[in-house]
Amino acid sequence: MYRRLIAPIICAVLLALPALALEPPQPRAAEKLPALSVLSIIPAQGEPGMAVTLNGTGFTAATVAFLGSQQLSTSVVSNRLLTVELPDLPAGVYALYLRREDTATSRPYNFMLQPLKPVAGSLEPDNLPSCSFGRDREVALTGGNFLPGARVLLDGAAIASRYLSPSALTFVVPQIPAGLHQVQVRNPTDAASGNLALVIDSKPEILGVSVGAEYVSYYELIVNGRNFQQGSTLTADGVRVGTGQQVVGQREQLVFRGCNQLVYQRHPYDPTPREIGLQVINPSGEESGVFTISAP
């Protein structure tokens, strides 16, 4: 009895199989991309060449960023993260937005493109004697992003400078007090670099001593060096010689001939040469090293 019931069912299934095989597969609905949106922009402003990171949703490998009408160099890290490089455009506020290959566009955001900042790298020299003059006070400033018309700021005030290239400027240091000073570069856009240190050195230094003219009772020792001042004193073996002014009863004198030379009028008690230690002391109290010479 069961066999008579099963046989018709099997036949019906076998007859339906060809029809099922010929039925075409149903098409799958196209996958819908999530909405394209920007949740954060870091940093929210920057200058040309800087990298900016955007975090959001719906990013694809073909998503690109725009700043105004200019397409940016875009690197997609994931479907939520991408980076862009800011182009060399005039400073100002631009619309920053994303566009996907399906033409979906994110909401635009105001982005402040700042002027390109000059970079102050080094000074040569960065230490000047206070008594140097003319070309000896010329300083070369190297760095980057210097624009034609860039100026050098010395302690915040613009001074005369010469533009050589986008990476080089020169300037002559005016007569300024001794000590530490700050140097910057400012482009015509008013963008300024960081500070570099310039030292004006007033410490006296003896570079050499030679015997000069000889007279009946004294002879001259010519002291050559730098940063000597009117009113500097000289010590010989620790004994103070003078200030360049004639003092009644004092035989030995010191004559100031400029910041690079002093003349010591020495009255020896014995013509036999011996070691003499000389030192210059400026009115500020700064002292040179001791220079030793063999002389009467």
Tell me: the pLDDT tens digits for 19-33? 444 454 454 545 688
22 belongs to a structural domain: no
Same domain, 186 and 126: yes
Same domain, 218 and 184: no
Percent of the chain with pLDDT over 70: 86
The answer to which of 12-16, 42-46, 77-81, 168-172 has the lowest mean pLDDT is: 12-16
pTM of the model: 0.71
6 belongs to a structural domain: no
Q: Domains in the chain: how many in total? A: 3
Of 201, 236, 271, the position where a domain reaches its end is 201
Of 71, 93, 113, the position where a domain reaches its end is 113
Same domain, 217 and 272: yes
Q: According to the model, what pLDDT value does residue 14 have? A: 45
Kind of pairing, strands 168-172 and 291-295? unpaired
Residue 20 in tokens? 């099922």
Quick one: average pLDDT of 157-184?
Answer: 96
- Nearest CA among 208, 226, 209, 215 for reference residue 286: 226
User: Containing domain of residue 263, as a range?
Assistant: 205-295
Tell me: the pLDDT tens digits for 199-226? 999 999 999 999 999 998 899 999 999 9
62 belongs to a structural domain: yes
Tell me: the pLDDT tens digits for 249-259? 567 889 999 99
Tell which phi-psi region holds residue 130, choosing left (phi > 0), alpha (psi between -120 and 50) or beta: alpha
Kind of pairing, strands 196-201 and 127-129? parallel
